[in-house]
Structure 1
Amino acid sequence: MHRLLMERSAIIDTLVQVKRSAANPEGSAFRPAREASMMRDLVKRHEGLLPLDTVESIWRVIISTFTYVQSPYAVHADLSVGEPLMRDSARFHFGFTTPFTPHMGARAVVDAVAASKGDLGLLPAAMVPGADPWWTALEPAKAPKIIARLPFVDRADHPAGLPVFVVSHPIADAAVTEVSVFSVRVSGWSARSAAAVSALAEVLAVSDGALDGAALLVSVPDAGTRTAVEDALRQSGASVRSFISVGSHAAPYRIGMDSAG
């Protein structure tokens, strides 16, 4: 394995030299569509006593480190959900070679990614009470976008199980669109509206300052579900003020549901 990794590094070195002689546009070197496909294959073929955690973490370190060697990047993380959890997630998925930069607040992470050449940001995929609707910062066309959700291999005993979104500069050529994510603003928000939408999609929601308003982050599995969500909101008495794409990601591979592992 060591010899093969060194051979791979020699190939990467040649690739880096070629890229240095060519125009290198701004953007992340992260390729979530390719990685999701590889992870599915890894889980499907895994068997025996060797823990899946070990295989997953080794693979993640290899791919993240070679990505870093090819095109250096840093991982910016929002510590508002707790430093140990977020640091564990960053180290498990991106290793120790990739620089880790902590921030207090999700918008600070978005700003850091926007100001970078190709850095990544880790943001909580669960609502913290009283939190700011950070996803509204992803609405402008050139703003960072959600490109992945981690952990990709979703299981109850995952050693880095904190659900996080990965944001980067837009990467349309390498994006995976199995799940689309939208920033939705509504008025007339109510418990009835929340129940109607939650039956169709995964929703994070906070008050936007109005008595009956809300800013939502909605993950939907297909275009048809988006239409159903809009219809459900209107039928529940809510008014849709905006429905803006803020990224997409691969559908999580759920152990026990998508596989027999």
Structure 2
Amino acid sequence: MFSLLFPGLALKTTASSVPHDQPPQLGPQHGPSGPDRMNVDESLDALRREIDAIDDTIHDLIMRRTQFVEQVREIKRDLRVKIRPSREAEIVYRLIGRHHGPFPKRELVAMWRQLIVATLSFEGPFSVAVYVPPDGAGYWDLARDHFGIFTPATRHTSVRTVIEAVHRQDATVGVLPLPQHEDRDPWWRHLVTQQPEVPRIIARLPFAGHGTGLGAKVEALAICPVGLTPTGRDRSVFAIDMDNRVSVNQLTQVLRDLDLPVTFATAWREEQGPSAWLQLVEVDGFLDEADDRLAQIAPALGKAVNRIVSLGGYAKPLTREELGNRDDTSGNEPDTTKPDDAQNSVPDTA
């Protein structure tokens, strides 16, 4: 641990530089002395004063930013949910687009996420309900990374109780596993309703690459009863309730003709219930309930479609390439999964 905190000092006391049977030798080899040492100290002091002045400026701007956030809070006073995930993503996209220099982008995003969530906390009540299965706490780490380490959060061993907590307003946001083809009892089926205040998908986690904790092994979706707006780089999710299952190939072709490229699709049917199928579909681009293309899906499929329900969507997470700094010549890239990775792609068969 000492060597991690003081790597320079550890380097000078390795076995190769200092024999075990001799004390460290003092002199020029251990750094400048006399006038040279004074010059180094003066240079360091000057640089530290500059850094302190910059820190003061950053702090002043944070306090000024908070004053404007308070004005936003007054405007949004009557809104039940204050979080605006599309706006939050746009802030991060803009900052990443203008960033340069060696400061790592993942850490930049983490700083701004903390800043955003901190101001949310005084706009109104804000808390997170997180699905934590018995065999791991990866979703908890994802939630803390994205929604802040100081945000009130509760653990749930059932996906259903997460949805209920958000629906009852016991929690502002819920964090649930990313849907998979093999899910036997998928949580998303509980969102296939047009009742008011039902949670909708608002984000995909991680947004800026995986961290180093247990969350590095999983991905998740966040839900909240709030609408989205286009960011220019979105994915949209909806469900099709129909009497008979349609093949993925047919579904993909129909949606492609409507300019809705499919990025993920799966189906579920209750084994002991009616024969109706629920098709979960994710498409590239922004799509909400007011989009005319939703109404065109049923006649294009030519099958008995009972209803089509928009389940929300998300702004695309930052990719590995986007998180690699422009000025980084080391060749190292953050270890993060692209949002359209193979494990969540569209299968070739029904």
User: Match for residue 129 of structure 1?
Assistant: 183
Q: CA RMSD in A?
A: 3.7
Instruction: Find the aligned partners of 1:27 and 1:136 in 2 and give their Cα distance.
Output: 22
Greater relative contact order: 1 or 2 (C-alpha under 8 angstroms, separation 6 or more)? Answer: 1
Equivalent position of 1:250 in the other structure: 315
Q: TM-score, normalised by structure 1?
A: 0.76
Contact 2:104 2:325 in 1 (8 A): no
1:123-179: CA deviations, max 9, x gaps?
2222263223434335223312222223334x6x665563322222234xx644743
Deviation string 1:104-130 (CA, Å, 9 cap, x unpaired) is: 222211111121276111122222632
Structure 2 residue identity aligned to 1:136: H
* Matching residue within 134, 137, 141 for 1:88: 141
Q: What is the aligned partner in structure 2 of residue 25 from structure 1?
A: 78
The alignment-based identity, stated in percent, is: 24
- Per the TM alignment, residue 249 of structure 1 is displaced from its structure 2 partner at its CA by 2.5
Q: 1:204 to 1:252 in 2, by over 3 A?
A: farther
Match of 1:214 in 2: 277
Residue pair 1:135, 1:246 contacting (<8 A) in 2 also: no
Deviation at 1:11, TM superposition (A): 5.9
Change (3 A) 1:258 1:2: closer
Q: Secondary structure at the match of 2:137?
A: helix
Equivalent residue runs for 1:65-104 within 5 Å: 65-80=118-133, 83-104=136-157
* Paired residues of 1:76 and 1:100 also in contact (CA < 8 A): yes
Question: For residues 217-259 of structure 1, what are the alpha-carbon distances to aligned partners after superposition, in whole Å with 9 as ceiling and x for unaligned?
Answer: 222224576467546644xxx5322211222332444344899
Q: 1:7 to 1:54 in 2, by over 3 A?
A: closer
Which letter does structure 2 place at the counterpart of 1:130? R
Q: Which of these residues, 190, 203, 221, is aligned with residue 165 of structure 1?
A: 221
Distance 2:190 2:321 in 1: 34
The residue type paired with residue 188 of structure 1 is N
Does structure 2 conserve the Cα–Cα contact (< 8 Å) formed by 1:126 and 1:163? no
8 Å CA contact 2:146, 2:207 repeated in 1: no
Q: Does the CA-based 8 Å contact 2:131-2:140 persist in structure 1? A: no
Q: Is the 8 A contact 1:188 1:213 kept in 2?
A: yes
Paired residue type of 2:116: I
1:95–1:74: structure 2 CA closer, same or farther, 3 Å change rule? same
Cα 1:133–1:17, aligned 2, differ >3 Å: closer, same or farther? closer
Q: Does 1:145 find its partner at 2:210? A: no
Aligned length: 251
Equivalent of residue 243 in structure 2, options 182, 187, 190: 187
Q: 1:158 to 1:17 in 2, by over 3 A?
A: closer
What SS is found at the alignment partner of 1:122? strand
Amino acid at match of 2:314: H
Which segments of 5 or more consecutive residues in structure 1 lack a partner in the other structure? none
SS of alignment partner, residue 59 of structure 1: helix
Amino acid at match of 2:242: V
Q: Which runs of 5+ in 2 are unaligned?
A: 1-53, 254-260, 327-350
| TM-score for the superposition, normalised by structure 2 | 0.59
For residues 5-61 of structure 1, give each alpha carbon's deviation from its aligned partner in whole angstroms, at most 9, with x where no partner exists.
4653476378659958x8833522212122111111222233444333222222212
Question: Closer, same or farther in 2 for the Cα pair 1:48/1:124, shift >3 Å?
Answer: same
In structure 2, C-alpha distance between the alignment counterparts of 1:19 and 1:41, rounded to whole Å: 23
Structure with the higher fraction of residues in strand conformation: 1
Q: 2:197 aligns to what SS in structure 1? A: coil
Structure ID, larger Rg: 2
In 2 relative to 1, CA 89–206 (structure 1 residues): closer, same or farther, beyond 3 Å?
A: same
Partner of 2:14: none
Cα distance change on mapping 1:213 and 1:251 into 2, 3 Å: same
For 1:224 and 1:18, locate their aligned partners in 2 and report how far apart those are by CA, in whole Å. Answer: 32
